[in-house]
Amino acid sequence: MAADGVSGNGSNIVVGPTRSFARLEQTFPTLTDAEIARLRRFGELRSYKDGELMFETGKPGPGMFVVLAGHVAITERDGLGHVTPIVEQGPGQFCAEVGQLSGRVALVDGRAEGEVETLLIPSDRLRALLVAEADLGERIMRALILRRVSLIQGGVGGPVLIGPSNSASVAALQNFLSRNSFPHHLLDPERDGDAAEIIARYSPSPSDWPLVVTVDGTVLRNPSENEVARALGMVGGPRESRIYDVAIVGCGPAGLATAVYAASEGLSVVVMDARAFGGQAGASARIENYLGFPTGISGHALAGRAFSQAQKFGAEIMIPMSAASLDCARKDGNFKLALDCGDEVRSRAVVVASGARYRRPEIDNLEKFDGRGVWYWASPVEARLCAGQDVALVGAGNSAGQAAVFLSGHARKVLMMIRGGGLGASMSRYLIERIEATPNIELIFNTEVTGLEGKPGASLERVRWRSRLGGEEMSADIRNLFLFVGADPATNWLDGCGVSLDRAGFVVTGAQSDLNLGRPISQLETSVPGVFAVGDVRSGSVKRVGGAIGEGAQVVAALHGFLGDSAKPGL
Ligand SMILES: Cc1cc2nc3c(=O)[nH]c(=O)nc-3n(C[C@H](O)[C@H](O)[C@H](O)COP(=O)(O)OP(=O)(O)OC[C@H]3O[C@@H](n4cnc5c(N)ncnc54)[C@H](O)[C@@H]3O)c2cc1C
């Protein structure tokens, strides 16, 4: 491989000039002969000729290759025809990243250099290896995760987004890809000559931006999240003929916890989410009250770990994929979930973990600026849009407080608008103190946002608000408004299936539900036997990450009870 980079730790690692790895030894470990001998039972020998492509960007990866002899050149390739060396793997090293746990598309090319002998371990055997070989599995798992992290940091293997970096629709798509830990690379036509040329050639109209160029060179114009996901091969489909033990709707903390515990206890599991893993928690810049993280952890980092863990135990994950409806008739003994893509998932039990959707208050023109300056979360992507500007934020709960503190590190000023006259009743003391100590957060009490202004089809330009105590309507040039005004349960997809909801639409479970089955009722079972509910969507739940995760763990015991699973392990 032509690469003039640094040589790592005396091994065969050659890092290309554009790439550097923070934890090189952990990212590209070299296994001993004894360790490779332990791996042999999981794979089969495969040989490749000089120059042969072993795996290819954008095509499903065959699994993990352990290199026994020869070398493999790993290169990145984008849809604009750029090929960049990343690393070279030699004897004792292995080629894979975390996507190979579930047979996802490869994000890089791997090509044999000279004659190459490998041990190919397919995805299902790789998962078995990680579980059976605890110490070795831990090293391999860490390397797979670190590799994905470095691909994300370098924008390697994903699509190229072309559009102005301060455009709201570019930010919305970047947010979608980031929330799903999918690498991508942004080219701003104002700073990059190639990008300006491509825009001039393909689509000079701003309504077509961003352009998304996939690795095979396909150009999508201002695509929806689902179109991008399909084009990138992000979504694994359900296996039509398979009947899962449990189907979980929602991949927030509650759904992820259910998936990890259920899959690790031997149940066959499918999980789906309409948008991204992590749910509401994935939108939290810093969770400070989750047990075991004294310095706090971002919701995305916490959920990302759980997402990898669920895959390690074999849960099949489909994102983005919405459950459209649930059929509880069980004519053939199974529940049927209709998916928005038209497919169907069949399972013996269902766990409702669909959480809550951000509430949209009554504000003039709100829907026109959704995703164009109106945001319901505050991630680094949105924060970048606010650099040096004034932003408005509505809400008085902990999520609003966290977001205000986070945004104050990027924006010139955060105008925090609060309906009531104080924060004490709705926000934790530590956050109130932090807000009070932050000079560029201005608290405006007894206030309601009344309207939004901007040109048709363009981004938000101006926000109007009014004091609830009377007086003139005020307004200011504000291009980003953050709304943290609570959430409603995401239960539309349960319409007509017989699952009882409370007056606010949350799922009723346990003794409150109308079940009379002649057996003890799980606290988490709904009015339909075999359908369970966990986390924020459940009536009476505590609406906290810790609560959602606890319920995810708890529901698995109830699932075993319902399924009559003789393989239930002892606790
Ligand atoms: C900004 C913010 C900060 C927060 N900070 C904290 C904190 O510091 N500490 C704390 O304890 N809690 C915090 N919370 C609350 C915490 O995030 C929630 O209690 C927790 O995420 C609930 O988890 P869940 O899995 O029940 O639901 P959710 O997180 O709401 O996840 C539900 C998932 O279901 C998916 N879904 C919905 N409908 C469908 C469908 N039909 N088909 C497929 N998928 C569907 C959604 O896309 C979503 O990903 C915060 C919340 C927010 C918004």
Please write the tens of the pLDDT for every residue from 228-284. Answer: 998 988 886 666 679 999 999 999 999 999 999 999 999 999 999 999 999 999 878
Alpha carbon nearest to ligand 1 atom 30, residue: 355
CA angle (31, 32, 36) in 5-degree steps: 75
Low-confidence ranges of the chain (pLDDT < 70): 1-21, 236-240, 512-520, 565-571
Q: Give the pair of three-digit tokens for residue 207.
A: 């309504």
Distance CA 79, CA 59 (A): 14
In this prediction, residue 3 carries a pLDDT of 29
Where would I find the beta strands (DSSP E) of 217-373?
Answer: 219-221, 243-249, 269-272, 316-318, 323-327, 335-339, 344-352, 356-358
Looking only at the bridges linking them, the beta strands covering 356-358 and 374-375 are unpaired
The length of the chain is 571
Cα atoms in the Cβ-side hemisphere of radius 13 Å centred on 487: 22
In this prediction, residue 519 carries a pLDDT of 64
- Does any ligand 1 atom lie closer than 6 A to the CB of residue 280? yes
In this prediction, residue 130 carries a pLDDT of 95
Distance CA 159, CA 477 (A): 34
- Does any ligand 1 atom lie closer than 6 A to the CB of residue 314? no
Question: Ligand 1 pocket: which of 287, 354, 357, 427 to mutate (most atoms <8 Å of CB)?
Answer: 354
Bond prior to 320 in cis (omega within 30° of 0): yes
- Does any ligand 1 atom lie closer than 6 A to the CB of residue 253? yes
Q: Which residues of 293-324 are buried (b: 16+ CB within 10 A; e: fewer)?
A: eeeebbbbebbbebbbbbbbbbbbbbbbbbbe
Where would I find the beta strands (DSSP E) of 254-300?
Answer: 269-272
In this prediction, residue 10 carries a pLDDT of 31
Separation of CA 263 and ligand 1 centre (Å): 21
Cα dihedral angle (344, 350, 351, 356), rounded to 10 degrees? 50
Alpha carbon nearest to ligand 1 atom 44, residue: 273
Domains and CATH numbers, the chain: 24-154 (2.60.120.10), 157-232 (3.40.30.10), 243-357+488-567 (3.50.50.60), 366-483 (3.50.50.60)
- Does any ligand 1 atom lie closer than 6 A to the CB of residue 160? no
Strand, helix or coil for residue 488: strand
Radius of gyration of the chain (CA): 25
Say whether pTM exceeds 0.75.
yes
Distance CA 522, CA 558 (A): 6
Locate the ligand 1 atom nearest the alpha carbon of residue 287 and give its number.
8
CB 62 within 8 A of CB 131: no
- Does any ligand 1 atom lie closer than 6 A to the CB of residue 248? no
Separation of CA 232 and ligand 1 centre (Å): 25
Q: Name 134's Cβ contacts closer than 8 Å, sequence gap at least 6.
A: none
- Does any ligand 1 atom lie closer than 6 A to the CB of residue 257? no
Question: Ligand 1 pocket: which of 284, 394, 426 to mutate (most atoms <8 Å of CB)?
Answer: 284
Residue 472, Cβ density class (10 Å: 0-12 exposed, 13-18 middle, ≥19 buried):
exposed
In this prediction, residue 512 carries a pLDDT of 64
- Does any ligand 1 atom lie closer than 6 A to the CB of residue 254? yes
CB 444 within 8 A of CB 422: no
- Does any ligand 1 atom lie closer than 6 A to the CB of residue 244? no
CB 404 within 8 A of CB 265: no
Q: Give the distance between the most distant pair of CA atoms in the chain.
A: 80
Strand, helix or coil for residue 502: coil
In this prediction, residue 13 carries a pLDDT of 35
- Compute how many other C-beta atoms are within 10 angstroms of the C-beta atom of residue 424: 10
